[in-house]
Structure 1
Amino acid sequence: MHTEPTRDAIATLVHDFYADIRRDALLQPVFDGAIGDHWEPHLARMVDFWCSVMLSSAEFKGNVYGKHMALAGIEPEHFRRWLTLFESHVRRLFQPEVAEEFMAAARRIAASLQYGFFGRLEVA
């Protein structure tokens, strides 16, 4: 269990988490539709993204909101499932305090995207 987020620990999180996404009946079709065969570049971008969020590394450059708003068919259940899977991985890999930091960031991001999709917060 990691006591602090490091690039290596974040890479493990990202790869383990997205391996579960790719097996998940609800989320897999959404992600495959958006990512197609470009999983490796996506995983590298997600490592950069979470390093930027958790380590203030500023490695990620991109428009998270715009990319997600271009997706069709997103429902509140997608957010619930994503957050549940993500939480299970951060709690397995990190000490409770660090896991809570990850979850606080994930909830903020999810809230922003939910306002974009639904005009309101659907998942707390």
Structure 2
Amino acid sequence: MKKLESREDIEHLVNSFYTKVTQDETIGFFFSDIAKVDWDKHLPKMYSFWESILFGQMSYKGNPMAVHFPINEIQAMEKRHFDKWLELWRKTIEEHFTGENADTAIYKSENIAKLMAFKMEMARKS
């Protein structure tokens, strides 16, 4: 097991994670059918997002919350979807990495998922 300590590590983590996501029957359809993700654009954004969060490399420019609201309008993004996302993220990290940054990636993802789940639910109620 290696420590999560470079952009290359993040790329490996994100690529491995999204391989799981796209094959998952609970959340995969959000990416393939609803958002119709362009992976050549999405993956580099995710590398920069996690690089910013874990290493303070302010390379990410964007608003992840705003991107998810239109998807939520088409198909409700529910707590169970965020729980599955977290489960796959945690599993991917634990398969490949150890150490403080790996723990931080799990901790931060839990906070992100809770906030996003809450905001998506509130948006559906308004």
TM-score bracket relative to the smaller structure: 0.7 to 0.9
Quote the RMSD (CA, aligned, Å). Answer: 1.5
In the alignment, is the contact (CA less than 8 A) between 1:17 and 1:85 conserved in 2? Answer: yes
Equivalent residues, number: 119
Higher share of residues assigned helix: 2
Match of 1:51 in 2: 51
Residues of 2 paired with 1:57 and 1:100: CA distance? 18
Return 5+ residue gaps in structure 1 as ranges.
120-124
Query: Cα deviation per residue 1:52-85 (whole Å; 9 max; x = unaligned)?
Result: 1111111110011111122222111101100000
1:28 maps to a residue whose letter is G
Match of 1:64 in 2: 64
Q: Which one of 90, 99, 102 corresponds to residue 102 of structure 2? A: 99
TM-score, with length taken from structure 1: 0.88
Q: Tell me the SS of whatever aligns to 2:3.
A: coil
Q: Does 1:85 align with 2:88?
A: yes
Residues of 2 paired with 1:93 and 1:62: CA distance? 27
Residues of 1 paired with 2:78 and 2:114: CA distance? 13
Q: Tell me the SS of whatever aligns to 1:71.
A: helix
2:91 maps to a residue whose letter is S
Change (3 A) 1:37 1:31: closer
Residues of 2 paired with 1:37 and 1:106: CA distance? 20
Runs of 4+ that moved beyond 3 A:
none
More deviation, 14-23/92-101: 92-101
Q: Tell me the SS of whatever aligns to 1:22.
A: helix
Residues of 1 paired with 2:4 and 2:70: CA distance? 34
Change (3 A) 1:58 1:34: farther
Return 5+ residue gaps in structure 2 as ranges.
none
TM-score, with length taken from structure 2: 0.86
